[in-house]
Amino acid sequence: MSQNLRENEVAVTAAPPTDAALRFIGHIRTPFTSRALCPRQGRPDGPECRLVLRAPWAAGLAGLERFEFAEVLYWLHESRRDLVLQSPKSDGAVRGVFSLRSPVRPNPIGLARVAILRIEGPEVIVRGLDCLDGTPLIDLKPDHCAYTVAAPDKPADRAP
Amino acid sequence: MSQNLRENEVAVTAAPPTDAALRFIGHIRTPFTSRALCPRQGRPDGPECRLVLRAPWAAGLAGLERFEFAEVLYWLHESRRDLVLQSPKSDGAVRGVFSLRSPVRPNPIGLARVAILRIEGPEVIVRGLDCLDGTPLIDLKPDHCAYTVAAPDKPADRAP
């Protein structure tokens, strides 16, 4: 897949991605039904979006209501994965993929910090997302900063 | 894998994870050679750690030197993935996996915000990690907040 390169962009040929495997835990409902409608990044005052958990994972939401903010990981399922140098402005100036927050990445995982508005059964209503309607959901966890305050210094270790 | 449950914990039987596949872009060198040595979470004044990029991805670091902080995604390769309710204190009180930052998750992806100290060829030296030495690296991108300041409002869209 080396077509559609902008000036000076570099695509690499990498081995098939077989190092680890993901299971989607649900999907995300947003008002953004095309890429053109997606904002550059989520805003705290953006529209309400829904994280819809699938069975058997909805039970894992217990306790989330005590947090105001969460980190959401999702799979950017429409992104190509082979561009190591990219030209965001299409002007011939290229930058490495790891200096960009472009959705085009070797592992196209999106990350957003969202405000938790409410939880309705298997659905979490949030603000702050920028992704396409129908985006697969990978993970959801209390926001790092919020968690730091509430957590004890060092809990019991969890065996693998 | 339903053994080793603490009181009231719940393991689920889920389909094999075949929804999406990851390729590791490198690995992480830390001083933490066992789980017991890992801190609960990374600290800004923690020890230096190294993100070691593998070919062909090292070229993707171009431009990262302009940022002070980055978000790092990594694969918690020793974690079980089937616990929907967990008891962090082993006291019978359980909470849903999505209200915890436990490494035990349906998709065990770790996320850390790190300070970028310097870049040496294919290696990025950082502070702020808490993971085991040898942890597989999934992604690396400029920190959300830092990036917001520097980025234009809405760049050209990237076609898939």
Per-residue pLDDT reduced to its tens digit, B89-129: 999 999 999 999 999 999 999 999 999 999 999 999 999 99
* pLDDT reading at B149 higher than 80: no
CA atoms within a 13 Å half-sphere pointing along the CA-CB vector of A129: 33
Whether the pLDDT of residue B43 is over 60: the answer is: yes
Tokens of B110: 């770790």
Q: Answer whether residue B122 is part of any domain.
A: yes
Distance CA B147, CA B142 (A): 6
Residue A3 lies in a domain: no
3-class SS of residue A86: strand
Best B37, B99, B104 member to test A by mutation, with max A CBs in 10 Å, is B99
The pLDDT value given to residue B146: 52
Query: The whole model's pTM is what?
Result: 0.87
- The answer to whether position B42 is within a domain reads yes
Amino acid at A7: E
**Which SS3 state, helix, strand or coil, does residue B67 take?**
coil
The verdict on residue B39 lying in a domain is yes
Please list every residue in chain B whose beta carbon sits closer than 8 Å to the beta carbon of residue A15.
Answer: 23
| Count of domains for chain B | 1
Q: How far is A98 from chain B (nearest CA, A)?
A: 5
Evaluate whether residue A47 is within a structural domain.
yes
Interface contact A99-B73, CB threshold 8 A: no
pLDDT exceeds 80 at position A66:
yes
Please state, in angstroms and rounded to a whole number, the distance separating the CA atoms of residues A70 and B98: 9
Domain assignment of residue A57, yes or no: yes
Distance of CA B102 to the CA centre of its chain: 12
Decide if A105 is inside a domain. yes
For residue B158, name the pLDDT band (cuts at 50, 70, 90): low
- The CATH number of the domain holding residue A51 is 2.40.30.70
Domain containing residue B30: 21-87+100-142
Q: Which of residues 116-135 of A touch B (CB under 8 A)?
A: none
